Amino acid sequence: MEKNVILAFSDFAMRKNLIWFFSTHRQKGIYARTLLLPRSDFPVHMNHEERVKMDEQISTACNVDDLYKWQWNQNKPTFVLHDGPPYANGDVHLGHAVNKILKDIFARYKAMSGFRVHFRPGWDCHGLPVELLAIKSMDENSRRDPILVRKRAKEFALKAVQSQMDSFKKWAIMADWKNPYLTLDKEYEGKELEIFKILHQHGLVYRAYRPVYWSPSSRTALAESELEYVTNHCTEAVYFKYSVVNFPKKILALQPTDRIWALVWTTMPWTLAFNNAICFGKKLVYILAKIKSEYYIFAMDAIDRLRNLLKLEIEVKSTFQGSFLSGLYYACPMQPDHALPFYSAEHVTSAKGTGLVHTSFAHGFEDFAVAVEHGEEVKCFVDEDGRYRRELGPDLGGLQVQTEGQAAVLEKFKKYILTKENVTQSYPYDWRTKQPVIVRSSKQWFIDTEQLKKAALDQLNDVNFYPANFAQSFKEVLARRPAWCISRQRVWGVPVPIFYDPETNEPIESNSLLENTVRLIQQHGSDIWWHSQAGDFAVDDTTMKLCKSDEILDIWFDSGVSWAAALDEQRKSSADLIVEGMDQLRGWFQSLLLTSVAVEQRSPYKNVLLHGFVLDEQGHKMSKSVGNVITPDAVISGQGEIGSKQIPAVGVDGLRLWVAQCAADRTHIPVGPQSLLTVKQTLGQLRSTLCFLLGVLNDFDCSNDSVEYDRLLVVDKYMLHVLAEFQNSMKSAYESFSALEAVTRAVQFSNGSVSKFYCTTVKDRLYCERAESLKRRSAQTVLHEVQTAFTSAVAPLLPYLAEEVHFYRNGKLGSFVFQKGWYDCPQQWTDKTLSDRMDPLLKARGRFLADYGKQNTYKFSICINDVSLKENIALLWSNSADAVVELADLFRVGQLQIGYNTNDNEFDVASVQHPLCSRCRRYICQPTVERKMRVMNRPEGRESHRSDFYQVPAAYSNSVGEERQPVQVGFLNCTYRHCDIYWLSDQNNPVLYCTIPPRGFVNVRSYAFHKWIFRDHGTFERLRCQYYTHTPRFVPPFVFILHPDLSLLRRCVEVVVDQINAGRIQRDDIPGQYLKLIEKTTSRKIFFQSDVDNTTVKLEKLEH
């Protein structure tokens, strides 16, 4: 540290003085009070407690219930966002956050852009997940009572609904929370059964004995959409041989005693117990081959696979087309008294196995189709628990087919097994119990999708999908859909409202009975089905005996009719938007479409937005056992760790930003400490930009200080053009339902166009110009528009941030940003001509900064030579003086010139030859030719002059001796700024340093420089800005005394002591951080901390 001391104090126009003491290492900050620096309390960063407190305050002030009610009561066109109901079976997870936040983003945008949004949230309350929770909480006896099970299930569902609703509201989801739809409400159930009745009357609902996916673990049939395909399912594949009984051996010159085997391959050996046929491909080429001493029939394409597997030589005896196998029969060891047929089938290929397919009519969809084609009887020997029926005998009866039953089959018929292998394949599992399912034939209720597919596919031509490539995928899935099984063998749901004849077990076809049943359930709810006897539903003229169905409707049928049950009067047209995960291509999207097309002959939705599934950062599914589960609350508050990494707290807006930034347009959505840290940094960048905007607008009143568009500087007009383009791009992103694009454009605009470009360009103007100057107000006008438009643009994404900004700007907290609506930029701002002319200059700027940007560019001077650049400058600026000033700021250089001559260089770069302006830190000062000598005695009556300096009064001369010389006054011009800087030097050592800001008066008499009595032998110089103008507003300057001679400083401090003792300086006038350095004592003494010897020097007051 230098051995010198700085004493600084400011003079309040002869009213009072403040004193500060500094050490020299702080000299760089001595001009801060003379600059118009940003001032804002808006926090860029907040800790967890502050973030939670702010979120709670905003949540209370911006109540989503009140906001939804306000926007719904507006007289505007309606935008219908149809909410797919989540399951009411537990707490929320990040998948819920992805879904609900994406919906809210576009609902908020539509509410801001001239619509009233119908967003009625719903919950799917029925089904196995809730029923299993209820059963687990009950004793063995209670579980057998369907009424008690339903009661407990309803309690679980309602509790989950309330818990999830609280979380959704916490995430700032604006929806009709006071009027949600629940599939357990009797009104909903009544409308669902109305749809069932219409479908039944139109012949679209039927009962049939068909194969269905059956879950032994759930004891019910499952729809395709209720399956999860496990790709690493491991099973045992068996090569099983059947003896062909009527193969024409003579043609092949075989002996009558030679046995010929048909070699089949199956990955479901448990179905071998009820083999019904062998299927072949009539277009495939088959061979008769000798393996060891036996003959086998299989496809030619399988020969290499078998050689590798058996490690045996295979001798081909004959080849023939598959059609040759037609009319052949074989002996089945499970049915030794029957000869079973070979059937041709289209589904047979030789890509796997042997080209001969073991067929069991009751346990495969293609198998069942073969039975239907050939008029075969279909029998199922597997019960609801997935066990072999007793009819199969004591060896197999009662065994679970996929485990012990399969092992028993393989053991019983092991002599017919040529070989076995383990294979890994994709296999369907029950999505709830996570257990493998089987295909099992049983009597179920179906919707005939074949009658609906064509009309449904035609309707999809008018539906938009986002991303668009999923439209074709959806059509392909829908085209392949089999009949829709809508019956389930459970109790927690809406009953299938059908009665059976107890003698024949056949359904009773009676429209009046069905209508009466539907009417009673509408009035009393579905519980009446279990509380009442079958006869209670009979119409007056019915005398037949009735037996109620013990099945419920598929939950996909529950949610699939929500277009009718939840939208009420909004059914007049299709929903404008639905948003769900990609798995709903096989689920809700189909059930909605099929039921709507069946009843109303139209698609129930116009736009479909799909999103992916949440995984950890390594692409793994989240699992509590693995320890990689992250909850929404953990993301908001930063609770917990993943591995050794802390989960960063990002708040509600951070959770929403993660959804928009990571969840859109992705099949898999990564989440973890690293991805959340990226989100936190992005949010911090946005907050930093907004903090700066709020800070530089702290003294700007848009109603009084705004500058008309025609008076704005050229660069400012260009920024408004950029702002208008940004606002249009944000609107386009929202209109195309791309949250990712909206976030990307917002971040690029904030970090690039605003921070790196415009704020960097105008920062000097904002800090150093006079407060009310046109240049500064022009920049502030634009920044005000940027802040307003940008806040509006990101409000759908980050509603809490938008309202927080509004609060710090306007002092009011509430839903003001949304009630103001979308900010549309005036058409005047979009100026393509201006943009085209600025573009070459900006490219030149980019090239300059690419070469010199790592250096202090203000040390450089640029001379523009390029003809086209000069032509654009001439078109943009009518005044060349204004042009060079603005372009110097644009290029961030100390000086810019427009060259008179043209050379090959686009621009020339040279070092600035002028000294540094200590206030604005620009290398733009230069001495003037005027240097004046003035005697300090001003004649009486003469008005003071800016260059006047006063002689030391006699009252002070005793303390310093005689005044020896007048002071020499010099001028330096600061080219762009009015940085009035004075200093007094003593043998080239600065003694006095005074900076007067551009908004202050410069009046020597007012500043009473004669008070400083240490100017003997000094040179007083002034750096003056040529653009300086007066303003009636006064801000005191800083005056600094710097000298290594402590004796000189002691003489200076004596004057300060006198001011203290005279009462002109009060304790309250001294900033708190300096109280320890200056203290008034009762002994009329003051303590001054010196850096010279790091000790306290006691200074006595000198009498004059």
Distance, C-alpha 417 to centroid of its chain: 56
Residue from 639, 492, 577 nearest 149 by CA: 492
Give 580's pLDDT tier (boundaries 50, 70, 90): very high
Higher pLDDT, 894 or 296: 296
Min mean pLDDT across 631-640, 652-661, 684-693 is at: 631-640
Tens-place pLDDT, residues 669-681:
888 888 889 999 9
Whether 10 contacts 18, CB under 8 Å: yes
Cβ 884 vs Cβ 864: under 8 Å: no
Q: Is the peptide bond before 336 cis (omega within 30 degrees of 0)?
A: no
Q: State the Cα angle at 511 between 507 and 514, rounded to 5°.
A: 70
Read off the pLDDT of residues 306-327 as tens digits, 9 standing for 90 and up. 988 888 888 888 899 998 899 8
Of residues 1063 and 228, more confidence is placed in 228
Mean pLDDT of 784-800: 95
Q: How confident is the model at residue 489 (pLDDT cuts 50, 70, 90)?
A: confident
Which pLDDT does position 957 carry in this prediction? Answer: 29
pTM: 0.76
> What residue segments make up the domains of the chain, in order of their start?
5-35+949-1099, 48-187+564-619, 231-431, 698-832, 833-911
What pLDDT is stored for residue 174 in this prediction?
Answer: 94
Contact 5, 23 (CB under 8 A): yes
* Predicted pLDDT of residue 537: 86
- What span, in angstroms and rounded, lies between the C-alpha atoms of 727 and 791? 11
Asked if the model's pLDDT at residue 1037 lies above 80, the reply is no
pLDDT band of residue 12 (cuts 50, 70, 90) is very low
pLDDT tens column, 1064-1076: 544 444 444 333 4
Q: Contact at 8 Å (CB) between 915 and 979?
A: no
Ranges assigned E (strand) in 589-718: 607-611, 613-616, 641-642, 645-646, 668-671
Given pLDDT bands bounded at 50, 70 and 90, which one contains residue 33?
Answer: low
Residue 411: partners with Cβ closer than 8 Å, 6 or more residues away? none
Q: CA-to-CA distance for 1057 and 159, rounded, in angstroms?
A: 75
Top-ranked range on mean pLDDT: pick from 451-460, 663-672, 1032-1041, 1073-1082: 451-460
d(CA 959, CA 1054): 9
Task: Quote the pLDDT of residue 911.
Answer: 86
* Mean pLDDT computed over 443-465: 93
- 666, burial (CB in 10 Å: exposed 0-12, middle 13-18, buried 19+): middle
Confidence of residue 981 (pLDDT cuts 50, 70, 90): very low
CA 496, 501, 504, 507 dihedral sign is: negative
Q: According to the CATH classification, is domain 698-832 in 3.40.50.920?
A: no
- The string of pLDDT tens digits covering residues 491-537 is 999 999 999 888 888 898 888 889 999 999 999 999 999 998 888 88
Mean pLDDT across the chain, nearest whole number?
Answer: 79
Q: What percent of the chain has pLDDT over 70?
A: 77
Q: Which amino acid is at 29?
A: G
Angle at 29 between CA 28 and CA 33, to 5 degrees: 145
* Per-residue pLDDT tens over the stretch 873-926: 889 888 888 888 889 889 988 888 888 766 778 888 888 877 666 666 676 655
Residue with tokens 């240049």: 775
**Per-residue pLDDT at 787:** 95
Using the predicted structure, report yes or no on whether residue 746 has a pLDDT greater than 90. Answer: yes
Q: What are phi and psi of 738, to 5 degrees?
A: -115, 95
> Is residue 370 pLDDT above 90, yes or no?
yes
Helices 714-735 + 760-768 axis angle, to 10: 130
pLDDT tens for 592-606 read: 999 999 999 999 999
Looking at residue 566, its pLDDT comes to 85
Q: Selecting from 2.60.120.10, 3.40.50.150, 3.30.230.80, 3.40.50.620, what CATH number does the domain 48-187+564-619 have?
A: 3.40.50.620
Q: Strand 860-864 to strand 895-898: parallel, antiparallel, or no bridges (unpaired)? A: parallel
- How many angstroms separate the Cα of 802 from the Cα of each of 164, 555, 720, 789, 805? 25, 40, 21, 11, 5
DSSP string for residues in 165-231: HHHHHHTT--S-TTS-EETTSHHHHHHHHHHHHHHHHTT-EEEEEEEEEEETTTTEEE-GGGEEEEE
pLDDT over 90 percentage in the chain: 44
Q: Which residues pair with 954 in a beta bridge?
A: none
Residues 6+ apart with CB under 8 A from 265: 237, 238, 239, 240, 352, 353, 354, 356, 357, 358
Which of 1-5, 97-101, 133-137, 187-191 has the weakest average pLDDT? 1-5
Over 90: is that where the pLDDT of 973 sits?
no
In the predicted structure, residue 2 carries a pLDDT above the cut 50: no
- Domain 231-431 CATH (choose: 3.90.740.10, 1.10.3720.10, 3.30.565.10, 3.40.640.10): 3.90.740.10
Position 1087 pLDDT exceeds 80: no
Poorest-confidence range of 376-385, 639-648, 740-749, 978-987? 978-987
What does each C-alpha distance from 923 to 29, 398, 975 come to in angstroms?
Answer: 18, 95, 9
CA-derived radius of gyration, the chain: 43
Report how far residue 225's alpha carbon sits from residue 223's, in angstroms, rounded to the nearest whole number: 5
Chain centroid, CA 182 distance in Å: 27
Describe the crossing of helices 714-735 and 94-112 by its angle, rounded to 10 degrees.
120
pLDDT tier for residue 342 given thresholds of 50, 70 and 90:
very high
Cα distance between residue 468 and residue 874, in whole Å: 47
Query: What per-residue confidence (pLDDT) applies to 37?
Result: 87
Q: pLDDT band for position 553 (50/70/90)?
A: very high
Q: Mean per-residue pLDDT for 6-16?
A: 30
pLDDT bracket for residue 1097 (50, 70, 90): very low
